[in-house]
Amino acid sequence: MHEIAMVEDVLRIVEEVARDNGISRIDQVNVVIGEYLMVKPSLFEFAFMAAREGTRAAGAGLTIETEQVELECPGCHHRYSPRKINYNCPRCGNPNPLITKGKEMFVKSIEGDDNTG
Amino acid sequence: MEIKVMKRVLDRNRDMAARVRDRLGSSNVVMINMISSPGAGKTSLLEHICHLLGDKMRIAVIEGDVATDRDAQRIKKYEVPIVLINTDGGCHLDSNSIDIALGEFDLDNLDVVFVENVGNLVCPSHFDLGETLKLAVVSTTEGDDKPVKYPMLFKEARAVVLNKIDLMQYTNFDHSSFLSGLREVNSPVPLFEVSCRTGEGLEEFMEWVLEEAGN
Ligand SMILES: Nc1nc2c(ncn2[C@@H]2O[C@H](COP(=O)(O)OP(=O)(O)O)[C@@H](O)[C@H]2O)c(=O)[nH]1
Ligand SMILES: [Mg+2]
Ligand SMILES: [Zn+2]
């Protein structure tokens, strides 16, 4: 539901990067969304398509890569991927693992033409 | 040409949340972010908290409401400092509005700030408010599958309240499947089973609140 807020922040970031790199037209925006966030890619894409109007990304495509959750046990330092929603350490049972991957959302890269091109 | 960016989304919210956390820390104030579906009983719980703990600790309330001031009106009679944030349809509070709201309080003369987030189980978990802890509230009328459906909230909650236990007998709420779901998502989290209608279970919950707020 607040995909709009996320997408607006994505667009703010890519506009800034495009400006700094002299890119007038962004063709492609590549984002990574951690699995932990449970963001629906379809909703995110829908919001992106609506919000890109009037920006340098007005005609840009979007790819969303889902990043799997990775965990590290603070007790025995075991690194593992959870099976479904139970994150407990499979070695020692510690219920408070560190989420080392898959809880962030970030803009990975953009593609576009520079002004001279 | 492709340009590597690698920039996190919603970092500004995170930065502001860190600022809020510093502010609270330097005034020794605990902030409790209450998250639930609409109607689970956040405001009812707050009314009991203000009533039962109002003379034991210095409370302030931030009410997140999509458009109205109805919840704020309910809390007003307890004479605690209260700030209403209308999100204009927005599905969550963010740290910037919390930072502004805190400006209305005399933080050095408070022990705990309760934030009633907008009724929603997903969006509020994505926006760190700078809170000390999150409290998840669910009720027996919502079904027993909430923890497994919304694992992020239940993993991050410092405690869970199961409200409306007075209605359990009239619903198909399966207590043991709720419990096993919750334990699968977060095995150690404290669970308080209460009724804001009959008052059952509230005493134990209030003890927990006092302990968390008593820094
Ligand atoms: N039967 C019963 N009703 C409750 C209980 N707690 C809250 N309610 C009712 O549920 C409705 C929603 O409660 P409210 O506190 O406004 O929920 P909020 O949207 O989470 O703030 C209100 O009509 C309350 O009176 C309870 O424990 N039992
Ligand atoms: Mg309410
Ligand atoms: Zn371990």
Band of the pLDDT at B214, cuts 50, 70, 90? confident
The architecture CATH gives domain A3-112: 2-Layer Sandwich (3.30)
Q: What's the whole-number mean pLDDT along residues B23-36?
A: 98
Ligand 3 center to A89 CA (angstroms): 5
Confidence at residue B37, expressed as pLDDT on a 0 to 100 scale: 96
Confidence at residue A116, expressed as pLDDT on a 0 to 100 scale: 56
Q: What's the whole-number mean pLDDT along residues A49-75?
A: 97
ipTM score assigned to the predicted complex:
0.89
pLDDT(A115) > 90:
no
The architecture CATH gives domain B11-205: 3-Layer(aba) Sandwich (3.40)
Per-residue model confidence as pLDDT tens digits over B130-165? 999 999 999 999 999 999 999 999 999 999 999 999
Confidence at residue B88, expressed as pLDDT on a 0 to 100 scale: 82
Confidence at residue B89, expressed as pLDDT on a 0 to 100 scale: 78
Instruction: Indicate which residue's Cα is closest to atom 11 of ligand 1.
Output: B39
pLDDT more than 90, % of chain A: 89
- In sequence order, which residues have a C-beta less than 8 Å from that of residue B183 and are 6 or more positions away? none
List, as ranges, residues 67-86 from A with C-beta within 8 Å of B: 85-86
Domain ranges of chain B: 11-205
pLDDT more than 70, % of chain B: 100
Interchain pair B8, A104: CB under 8 A:
yes
Question: What token pair was written down for B5?
Answer: 């960016």
Band of the pLDDT at A114, cuts 50, 70, 90? confident
d(CA B158, CA B190) in angstroms, rounded, equals 7
Burial class from Cβ neighbours inside 10 Å (0-12, 13-18, 19+) for residue B188 reads exposed
Q: What's the whole-number mean pLDDT along residues A30-46?
A: 94
Domain ranges of chain A: 3-112
What are the C-alpha distances in Å from B213 to residues A101, B1, B17, B106?
32, 54, 19, 17
